[in-house]
A and B are shown apart, each in its own frame.
Chain A
């Protein structure tokens, strides 16, 4: 098992290195000047040239690559052209807000997705099944910005049940920075009324993003459950006189979870993609908005840094999913 993990981590380094090199060169062959994008169009050419020299962008591409690799080996992802901050610091600054949103939306996705998936399979062909599938298709087919705007208009603007935007009201002060995770920091500060306020701010964006996950989880759980439910051991469990809920949840669901776990694992990393739109609609100060701005201004260091980060997330989540397989199905052996 440990040898397997070490081998996977070793290959992960190669994957990330490959992604990094590819992104580095692709970003630089695009016929666009990031300095021209980050300075106003009024800026004279001399100012642009000065800024390019300051950023080292006037050096040959191989020199830039050598410097970049040297930086990576020292834990430095370079300095963003747009924000003028080290990319690593930017990632650390923006990631907590996205992580809070992603975790909350994943929780919503798993709870609703698994429940609806199981109900759809058990009540196959009946109204709960149709309703569950419709809910899933709805979530999959509507873009996050549309879902978000509809929820905002209904729950914030018309009903005024939930706040419109942001992580907390503008006029309240953030708790002292401890972890960077707002809700966690507020809990550490012991400000429980603010925790409730922050949770209220989290509901709509988390649901918007979670709906996307819900949709995939419902569909995969339903189809896996439909495969498992006719199996002999399920019939045996029923014949033994077990309660139906126990048969479904303990015997059927556990065995149907394998493909669902794969989907959930992939969703964790891809939540970042959904976060791009959700964060914009809800003015959520996370990594998604940083990604959009960096890509639009062809901010090389930030683009490579974010891509490496996403590649790492994908690889890491895949590893965790592979390890979970062994827990869910003891027949699986790691060699």
Chain B
């Protein structure tokens, strides 16, 4: 027996020994992230931010953006111009750009890519087909020139925001699709779910679902080969594990660190915390179709009852900034206004004016995960102080969003991410609703919360096609002010994108939208 125990000990020890001295090679960058969300790498179907982050590395669009998205920069198109009809934009392609296959990026590839995305018609296509409804709107002029005709006159900013949407507007290699198509699958969708046909700085080597995505630098990239040859996204679903893995060198960067972990890294030697505002918005919404939230005074009372400071400091641990308007910092048109703060007397007074001096009972719905659940608890406590009894119902997203989309909630704690880099992608969901029925053309947040305001909807429609930049930004400010005063949303904060970056890692630039982060300029010193 003793001999067996000793033998087991020796085996255990031998297995433990090689642990010493293992490190990630200098030419390899390993990023830990929750990859469970990645289910498809076909750019025509990709919708979630983590998947967009991954395909950003191996696909290119016609246009791209700088860190804050206020600056549009050329990508596969080196320049563009609006034609006289005002609807058509002409794109002049960069010459000599190669796909990973070695084929050249040309006008045929651009036309093919848009045709493919529009024909496959997957969920994210609405961002493109609202302005470019059919493949006939994209035409080759010559080998390096393409015309895209939009269904409305768009400003350069809105046009670029649409052309810059990741996935559906990426340019793919027609020859590779041709090679892998089948009779049942003429667009090679099944093949592109697991492979790439792009021209980005990295090539996809292998995607092992739930485990890792392995990429290798593309030496012939038009903007120069990546500074780090290998890029690996490693699946780590547990955020606590990401923190440990980053500290002990198993990974070079963690993508989903908790604010508590970020705080710890501020004091750990060898790390620098990088943070930028994100494109996220967290809000508490009231359903105006349910009494008493149909009364603007009640909605205002609740906005004054919430302790925004407690949410940002206590729950978000500082990983958020104050923001109460629906266009977040970094997107042109943001209205810098934060009139609401916890004011119990004012909230009670507003409730009394609305005819509810003793409050009322209601229900708050949220997801059963932090921080939304914690925010719901905070709001529940705040509402008690003004006499409102709120019961919290926690639901998984499959249930929560089913009820939300059916307009069956009273109060909900939820969030929103920007779909494309323009105020239009926020004005429509937050303020476009003239009918709360199924006939409404935009059935998003204002509609889900049954906030109908035809005058405001007309203003949103007008802002969409307003070509005068200054005038359009004024319109966005006006729309935000109306929603701030009268709307169903109490926006609690804008979360921050936070990263603990090891000091040996250079060239990392945090983006307002983390899915646009590029790693081709990141290297180890």
Contact = CB atoms under 8 A, between A and B. Distances in A.
A173 B232 CA distance: 11
Nearest to B440: A45
B251 interface: yes
Interface string B230-266: 1010111110110011011011000000000000000
- For chain A, which range describes its interface: under 10, 10 to 19, 20 to 34, or 35 or more residues? 35 or more
B24 A171 contact: yes
B175 interface: no
Contacts of B403: 31
Contact of A289 (B45, B237, B247): B237
A281 B211 contact: no
A129 B247 CA distance: 40
Contacts of B125: 47
Interface in A50-87: 50-51, 82-85
A30 B30 CA distance: 40
A296 B47 contact: no
B209 A83 contact: yes
A188 to B, nearest CB: 18
Given A84-B193, A164-B245, A200 B18 contact: yes
B177 interface: no
B250 A40 contact: no
Nearest to A112: B8
B134 interface: no
Contacts of B40: 84
A80 to B, nearest CB: 8
Interface string A131-169: 000000000000000000100110111001111111101
A36 B405 contact: yes
A196 B123 contact: no
B36 interface: yes
Contact of A171 (B15, B30, B401): B30
Contact of A36 (B214, B397, B414, B415): B397
A164 B232 contact: no
A165 B250 contact: yes
A166 B211 contact: yes
Interface string B206-237: 10111110100000000000000010101111
Nearest to B49: A40
25 contacts: A32-B399, A33-B405, A37-B401, A40-B47, A40-B48, A42-B416, A42-B417, A42-B429, A45-B405, A84-B193, A85-B39, A94-B209, A115-B1, A161-B16, A162-B19, A169-B250, A170-B24, A171-B28, A203-B15, A283-B234, A283-B236, A283-B237, A296-B397, A297-B397, A298-B398
Given A196-B15, A200-B15, 7 more contacts: A31-B402, A36-B402, A41-B397, A83-B39, A160-B248, A199-B15, A289-B36
Interface of A: 30-34, 36-48, 50-51, 82-85, 93-94, 115, 149, 152-153, 155-157, 160-167, 169-171, 173-174, 196-197, 199-200, 203, 280-283, 285, 289-290, 293, 296-298
